[in-house]
Amino acid sequence: MPLSMYQASVPTFVQILTALSGVLDKAQAFSAAKKCDPAVLLAARLAPNMFALTQQVQIACDFAKGATARLAGADVPSWPDHEKTFAELQQRIKKTTDFVQTFKPAQIDGSEERDVKLSVGGQPVTFKGQPYLIQFVLPNFYFHATTAYAILRHNGVELGKRDFVGAVPGMW
Amino acid sequence: MPLSMYQASVPTFVQILTALSGVLDKAQAFSAAKKCDPAVLLAARLAPNMFALTQQVQIACDFAKGATARLAGADVPSWPDHEKTFAELQQRIKKTTDFVQTFKPAQIDGSEERDVKLSVGGQPVTFKGQPYLIQFVLPNFYFHATTAYAILRHNGVELGKRDFVGAVPGMW
């Protein structure tokens, strides 16, 4: 079956966010084992003017949510960024993976030329669906998911790249 | 035009590696401005048992090179990891973007079901082309490209996410 807009989006979001959930589980266990306040890791960042772990997870979720809805021509639900604990971040991830999986391939396939309107840095931008997904969403999504992992790795959480990549059928 | 295996691979590799080249330019300029040995940044890492900047760039390049060749059913050239300077890493990136662009869409399109054989951690693995690209190559490629950026950001190089994402026509 030919590659489709659905196959290049929703399964990726689910794979990487599910893996990120596992990464956060390990981070929470690390906090407990080291007897450190989980809030320390949640507020950790790689540079003073870079987003902390909590925001990295929120933004990764938002790229998945926004891309899936926009490609399907649906409204993007607005979710407040109120997470303060690992458990709440896990709920955010779960809500996101549940949301993107409510869309069927037929709603997203064929969206290559669909107009996608969004605001980037306060400026209105109109994309076609394919460059929106391939050139904008995926780089941003992976950027924030990887940075979340990198923050935790830098803080000593025992993680390997397979924790980031997640389940790849036929491999691991 | 429907999304294709070529459109989901080669343009992404070129976009992100070209952006990475710009990131490395900024890192080299930072080294000069701070009067620090460039080798310090090239050997920087986020955790003691994580690859340093040089390897992150090499591996990102190798995922792009390997994926493009394998999807096209071509041999994967082996390039030694001998880079010791920013200039040599730039050559590696240039060699990679040149290589992947030698392939035409017709060589890669239709590779969804093509068998791709490779060795992962010393174990032989056979993928179909589509899961190989979407579930394995892209997560790994973005992982290493983002980690290279994150290492430099953590070391104080002035970078923003647009430096990572690179040129997105119609946006920036």
Statement: residue B13 has pLDDT above 70: yes
According to the model, what pLDDT value does residue A172 have?
59
Rounded mean pLDDT of chain B?
96
Other C-beta atoms within 10 Å of B53: how many? 25
Per cent of chain B over pLDDT 70 is: 98
Statement: residue B18 has pLDDT above 70: yes
Contact B147 A150 (CB under 8 A): yes
Q: Which is more confidently placed, B168 or A102?
A: A102
Q: What is the pLDDT of residues B36-70, one digit of tens each?
A: 999 999 999 999 999 999 999 999 999 999 999 99
Average pLDDT over residues A8-21: 98
According to the model, what pLDDT value does residue B172 have?
59
Q: What is the pLDDT of residues A27-84, one digit of tens each?
A: 999 999 999 999 999 999 999 999 999 999 999 999 999 999 999 999 999 999 999 9
- Chain A residues with CB inside 8 Å of B135's CB? 11-12, 15, 168-169
Q: Which of residues 24-83 of B touch A (CB under 8 A)?
A: 46-47, 50
ipTM topping 0.95: yes
Tell me chain A's radius of gyration from C-alpha atoms.
16
* B160 CB-near residues (< 8 Å, 6+ apart): none
Nearest by Cα to A144 from A67, A38, A50: A50
Report yes or no: B131 at the A interface, CB cutoff 8 Å.
yes
DSSP assignment, residue A115?
Answer: E
**What count of CB pairs under 8 Å joins A to B?**
131
Max distance between CA atoms of chain B, in angstroms, equals 52
Mutation target among A1, A3, A134 for the B interface, most CBs of B within 10 A: A3
Q: Token pair for residue A40?
A: 């320390």
According to the model, what pLDDT value does residue B170 have?
65
Q: Is the pTM value of this prediction over 0.90?
A: yes
According to the model, what pLDDT value does residue A149 have?
98
Å between A112 CA and nearest CA of chain B: 6
Per cent of chain A over pLDDT 70 is: 98
Identify the three-state secondary structure at position B144.
Answer: helix
Q: Would you say B65 and B76 are in contact if contact means Cβ atoms under 8 Å apart?
A: yes
Q: Token pair for residue A106?
A: 């037929």
Statement: residue A171 has pLDDT above 80: no
Q: What is the pLDDT of residues A16-26, one digit of tens each?
A: 999 999 999 99
In DSSP terms, which residues pair with A81 in a beta bridge? none
Mutation target among B17, B55, B168, B172 for the A interface, most CBs of A within 10 A: B168
Å between B80 CA and nearest CA of chain A: 23
Contact A16 B130 (CB under 8 A): no
Contact B171 A146 (CB under 8 A): no
Spatial distance between the Cα atoms of B44 and A45, rounded to a whole number of angstroms: 17
Report yes or no: A118 at the B interface, CB cutoff 8 Å.
no
Q: Would you say A89 and A24 are in contact if contact means Cβ atoms under 8 Å apart?
A: yes
According to the model, what pLDDT value does residue A120 have?
85
Report yes or no: A127 at the B interface, CB cutoff 8 Å.
yes
Spatial distance between the Cα atoms of B27 and B22, rounded to a whole number of angstroms: 9
